[in-house]
Structure 1
Amino acid sequence: MQKTILIVILLALFCSCKQKNQEVMETKKTIIRKQPKTISFHFEKSKEWLAKNTDSTQIRIVLAINRTDKNNITKMDSILIPVDLTGDREFYLPFPLEIPYLKDINKIIFFSYSTQTFAAYENGDLIYTGPTNMGRKKDPTPTGLFYTNWKAEKTTSTFNDEWDLRWNFNIANKLGVGWHEYELPGYPASHSCLRLQEKDAKYLYNWADQWILKDDENVLVKGTPVIIFGTYPFGKPKPWLQLVQNPKALNISAAEIENTTKPFLNAILSEQKKREQTGNIE
C-alpha cells in the first residue's frame, strides 16, 4: 500500500514538473520573430527611397536604423537601407535576443550611448528595442544604474517651458533625467534626457514600474532598473554608418551586457525582492 502511494506521489510530481516546463516553453514560444535572409546595408537618397516605399513596417525599420523619426528623416540626404527588409526590427538593431545572465531579473532596460539604441528584457529575453537620441556633448546623459521613478503622460521641459514632453518617465529625480517622446534628428541632441519615438516611449511608459513611496520624502520600493552605458564618439561619423562595410560592427554581445550588469546585480535583485514582498502595489 505504501509503495503504491509513493508511486502515485512521484507520478504526480513528475506530471507537475512536466506541466510547468511546458508552460515555460509555451511562454518562450509566444515571442515569435521573423528573421531576414540576410543582414546587409547600403546608402540611398532619403526622399527617393521614401517616394517609392510606403510600407509602414519597413519605414519603421529604416527609421530605427538611422536613429531618427518621420519628420527628421526627410532632412537627411543619404540614409542606411537594409538589402532585406522582411525581418522584424530587432534583427536590425544591436542588442542580443537572449542574455542568460539576466534570467533572474524580472525587468530591466538598457540604453547604449555608443549605438544610440535601447532594449527592454524580461528574465533575459528581449521584449522590446528601438532607437534613441541621448544627451549632446554639452549636456551628456549620465551613465550607470538608475531606476524608474514617477511618470506623466505629458509634462513640460525644465529647460524650456514651451517644450511639451509626452510619455515622460523619470529615472533621476534630482537631475530631472528621464525618457520621453521627442524629435530624433539622428544623433545625440538632448539636454541629457533619452529621446524616443512616440510608439517606443509609450510602450516603455506602460511596461516599466513606478517607484512606491513611503511618504513625500522617502522611497519604499524603487522602480524598474535602467542601465545606461557606453560613450558616443562626438565629432566623428555616426557609428551606424559602419554597417555598410560591416553589418556586425555595432553588435552588442551577451557577454558585454553581463559585464555591464555585474557590478549592479546584487543591488538590482535586492530591490526586486522588496517589490515582490510589497505585492507590486503602486
Structure 2
Amino acid sequence: MLIRILPLILILAMLSPVAARGESRKITNLCSVFHPGDALVPWECRKIKKGETAETLFGDRWQDVLRFNRIDRRHLVAGVSIKVPRDLDDIEEYSPLPATYPEAAQEEKFILVDLYEQFLGAYEHGELAFSFPIASGNRITRTPTGDFRINAFSRRHKSSLYKIEKSETPYPMHYALRFFSNDKGVDFWLHGRDLPGFPASHGCVGLSDEEMQRKYYHFSQPLQLQEARSLYEWVIGDRNDNGRFTWLKNGPRVKIIGESPL
C-alpha cells in the first residue's frame, strides 16, 4: 500500500502551484543556509526574540551582522534564527569576495556575482570598490551563470510577470540593470528588492532597497540600506536618466559564478 501511495504523493507535489512555479519556501533558520565564507568566521546560532531589533542587539555593528546573514531589517523578526559571530570584529565591513579580481584588471567597471556566497562585488580595474549581499534565484528558479554585460537600465522598472504577494500590484524592480534576455524573451536584471536571508528571486539578482520597502511594504524605519541604488548610480554614472527604460551601450561586464546554496 505504501509503495502505491508514494508515487501519488510525488505526482501531487509536482502538480502543486508552488512546485510548478518553483517559488522559494520561507526559511526562518538562516543558520541552515551555508555559504563558503561562513567557515572562516566562528559564529553561533541565535533566535530573535519579540521586541529585538538589529540595532538593539548589535549597536553600530548591526549592518555588519545583517550583511553576514544576507538579510534586511524588515525580515529580522521574532522567530528567525541568524548567525552571530563570536567576535563582531571578524565581520567588520564584511565581504566574502576577493579584494582583487585579475580578470577585471582591464575593465573600468566589472560586476562579479557569486551565487555560492550570495554576494555581488563591483570592481574598478580589478580592485573591489564595494560589495553587497544579494538574493538570487534558487536551484529551481535559477539565475543564469556565465559572462554578460549590462545593456539597459530603468530606475522605476516593474515586473511584467510577477506581483507583490497577495496583491495585484506588479512587483517593483527599482534601480534595474538588465544583463541578459533568454531565448524565451525573459529578461534578467540586477534590481532592488527585499532580502529575506536566502535565495528567493525568480532568477534576477536582488539587492536591498529600503526605499521600495517603505512604499510597498510599509517599512517605517529611517532609510539606510540603499544598495540597489548605489550600484545603479555607479553603473550609469553621468548618463542621462529619465527614469524609463533606456538602452546602454558598452555597459559593465557581469560575471555570474557558482550555484545557489538552496
Q: TM-score range with shorter-chain normalisation?
A: 0.5 to 0.7
1:112-261 maps to which residues of 2 (within 5 A)?
Answer: 112-161=114-163, 162-173=170-181, 174-198=185-209, 199-209=226-236, 221-234=249-262
Q: CA deviation at 1:56?
A: 6.5
Cα separation, 1, equivalents of 2:136 and 2:55: 31
Cα separation, 2, equivalents of 1:156 and 1:104: 34
3-state SS of 2:84 partner? strand
Cα separation, 2, equivalents of 1:121 and 1:187: 24
User: Which whole-Å deviations, capped at 9, do the CAs of 1:150-188 have from their partners, x for residues lacking one?
Assistant: 212212112225212211111114431101111112111
Bigger Rg, which one? 1
Runs of 4 or more consecutive aligned structure 1 residues displaced over 6 Å after TM superposition: none
Aligned AA (2:249)? V
**Corresponding residue for residue 77 of structure 1:** 80
Segments of 5+ residues of structure 2 without an aligned counterpart are: 1-39, 164-169, 210-225, 241-246
Q: CA deviation at 1:73?
A: 1.9
Aligned AA (1:59)? W
**Corresponding residue for residue 98 of structure 2:** 96
Give yes or no for contact 1:148–1:209 (8 Å, CA) kept in 2: no
3-state SS of 2:100 partner? coil
User: Which whole-Å deviations, capped at 9, do the CAs of 1:117-141 have from their partners, x for residues lacking one?
Assistant: 1111111211111111101333211
Q: TM-score, normalised by structure 1?
A: 0.60
- In structure 2, the CA distance between the partners of 1:144 and 1:51, relative to structure 1 (3 Å rule), is closer
Cα separation, 1, equivalents of 2:146 and 2:78: 33
Give yes or no for contact 1:177–1:192 (8 Å, CA) kept in 2: yes
Cα separation, 1, equivalents of 2:235 and 2:251: 7
Aligned AA (1:66)? N
Q: CA deviation at 1:148?
A: 0.9
**Corresponding residue for residue 61 of structure 1:** 64
Alpha carbon RMSD of aligned pairs, Å?
Answer: 2.8
Aligned AA (2:197)? G
- In structure 2, the CA distance between the partners of 1:67 and 1:125, relative to structure 1 (3 Å rule), is same
Give yes or no for contact 2:52–2:77 (8 Å, CA) kept in 1: no
Calculate percent identity across the aligned residue pairs: 29
User: Which whole-Å deviations, capped at 9, do the CAs of 1:2-55 have from their partners, x for residues lacking one?
Assistant: xxxxxxxxxxxxxxxxxxxxxxxxxxxxxxxxxxxx953222222376377366
Cα separation, 2, equivalents of 1:52 and 1:120: 27
Cα separation, 2, equivalents of 1:194 and 1:142: 10
Q: CA deviation at 1:102?
A: 3.0
Give yes or no for contact 1:209–1:224 (8 Å, CA) kept in 2: no
Cα separation, 2, equivalents of 1:223 and 1:52: 37
User: Which whole-Å deviations, capped at 9, do the CAs of 1:51-101 have from their partners, x for residues lacking one?
Assistant: 7736665221111111111111215532111233347754x3210222345
Q: CA deviation at 1:231?
A: 1.1
Cα separation, 2, equivalents of 1:110 and 1:41: 26
Report how many aligned residue pairs link the two structures: 190
